[in-house]
Amino acid sequence: MEIIAAVSAGAGAPLTVRTLTLRAPRPDEVLVRVLACGICHTDLTARAAVPATMPIVLGHEGAGVVEAVGGDVAGVAVGDRVLLTYQSCGACPECAHGLPGYCAQWAVRNAGRFGADSPLSSESGPVVGAFFGQSSFASHVLTTPRNLVVVEPDLDPVRIAAFGCSVQTGAGVVAEVLAPDASSVLAIFGVGAVGLSALLAARALGVGTVVAVDLSPVRLALAAELGADLVLDGGTDDVAARIAALPGGGASHALDTTGAAPVLATALDSLTARGVLALVGLGSSPVPVDVAGLIGRGKTLRGSIEGDVDPKVFLPRLTEWYRRGLLPMDKLVREYPVHRINDAVADMVAGTVIKAVVTFP
Ligand SMILES: [Zn+2]
Ligand SMILES: [Zn+2]
């Protein structure tokens, strides 16, 4: 079938909205008409790494409606509203333990499919598809029951599209990895879509004190509006000293969404003895670690992908929070019709939008 997709071809080139061909679903696949897809920083990272000779359709926060199901598919029906997330095998030990983010085949199943293996093609040759098992910067995608979650039909796809990556990452790392409580101080470094999702989850879970750190006054103002007890400007405030002055003498829990070495150093300095710093942001440079400081104060550095959650379990929890008003996504999301996807990308890069969501007619 012919579909509309935003194609990336080369790091600096604008995305082009083109007509592509999507093959028919195989017995284990589901055809989804995409209504909305969030743009995640991983899309921008992947775009920068893809050569111009290898056109690809990115997008991994799709939300849509099922249009067809293969003969072997159970539990998903035509007309179902679905959220899409990353792909996993379902058979390896980590998948069996409900931690599909650590699937043994994670990399190969999410990097996209190439050449004749791709479900996408164009008049000028193959196009890389099935990025994160979806490639949702497109009007239609082929996906599988593994990486979709059926949601209630009345939920606005524009508002909930980012649940499948950014929101589950931020909310999941707080709920499932750090698990702070009413006596905890949680410091969040970087309050973009992931950091603000962490903040909202912390408020939903009744965490005692939540500190937001960022360089953007606009983001800090939004963090305060969404319930941060203290907002600190990483450029002008003495962040570690301000956090150390809180009751308890520092952060019992911290989250870094930036991957930036100086930010990580400050986050580690902000921890109390036996404090835990979770890392979810991929930085571009190696980070020196103060091993003596970690040992002497019993601190923990903990990496996490996709919040350590099982999307089949956690996305329904997020939609319930959303319904209860605990995830006011309208304050994070800005909608762009697909023909304006380059404006959306530019706004993401400039940091003038928290969560850009592309929509399809
Ligand atoms: Zn697996
Ligand atoms: Zn993502």
Burial 301-312 (b: 16+ CB within 10 A, else e): beebbbbbbbbb
Residue type, 305: I
Domain of 240, in residue numbers? 170-303
| CA dist., res. 235 & res. 263, Å (int) | 10
Ligand closest in space to the Cα of 194: 2
Q: Are residues 247 and 351 in the same domain?
A: no
> Are 22 and 132 found together in one domain?
yes
How many angstroms does the Cα of residue 309 sit away from the middle of ligand 1? 13
The whole-number mean pLDDT for each consecutive block of 10 residues of the chain, a chain of 361 residues, reads 96 93 97 98 91 94 98 97 98 96 97 94 94 98 97 98 98 98 98 98 98 97 98 97 96 97 95 97 82 95 97 98 98 98 96 96 84
Q: Which of 303, 318, 339 is the last residue of a domain?
A: 303
- From the CA of 92, the nearest ligand is 1
Q: What is the predicted pLDDT for the residue at 361?
A: 84
Same domain, 341 and 260: no
Measured from the alpha carbon of residue 95, the closest ligand is 1
Ligand that lies nearest to the alpha carbon of residue 96, given by its number in the listed order: 1
Q: How far is the CA of 186 from the centre of ligand 1 (A)?
A: 31
Give the pLDDT of residue 283.
79
Q: Is residue 28 within 8 Å of residue 160, measured between CB atoms?
A: no
Q: Which residues pair with 214 in a beta bridge?
A: 233
Q: Which ligand is nearest to the CA of 99?
A: 1
- Of 263, 287, 303, the one marking the end of a domain is 303
CA of 42 to the centre of ligand 2 (A): 5
Residues 127, 207: one domain?
Answer: no
Indicate if 155 and 197 belong to the same structural domain. Answer: no
Ligand nearest to the CA of 98: 1
Statement to judge: residues 10 and 158 lie in one domain = yes
Domain of 260, CATH number, reads: 3.40.50.720
Same domain, 187 and 275: yes
| Pair (142, 253) in one structural domain | no
Same domain for 15 and 87, yes or no, is yes
Question: What is the CA(104)–ligand 1 centre distance, in A?
Answer: 5
Verify that 161 and 14 share a domain, yes or no: yes
Domain of 75, CATH number, reads 3.90.180.10
Ligand 2 centroid to Cα of residue 166, in Å, is 5
C-alpha 44 – ligand 2 centre gap (Å): 10
For the CA of 41, the nearest ligand: 2
Q: How far is the CA of 60 from the centre of ligand 2 (A)?
A: 6
Using the mean position of ligand 2's atoms as its centre, give its distance from the Cα of residue 40 in Å: 5
Residue 84 bridge partners (DSSP): 148
CA distance from start to end of the chain: 17
pLDDT given for residue 288 in this prediction:
83
Residues 342, 318, single domain; the answer is yes
For residues 123 and 130, give the distance between their C-alpha atoms in angstroms, rounded to a whole number: 19
Please tell me the distance between residue 89's alpha carbon and the centre of ligand 1 in angstroms: 4
On whether both 249 and 348 belong to a single domain, the answer is: no
Strand, helix or coil for residue 332? coil
Number of domains in the chain: 2
3-state secondary structure of 125: strand
With beta carbons less than 8 A apart as the criterion, state whether 60 and 165 touch. yes
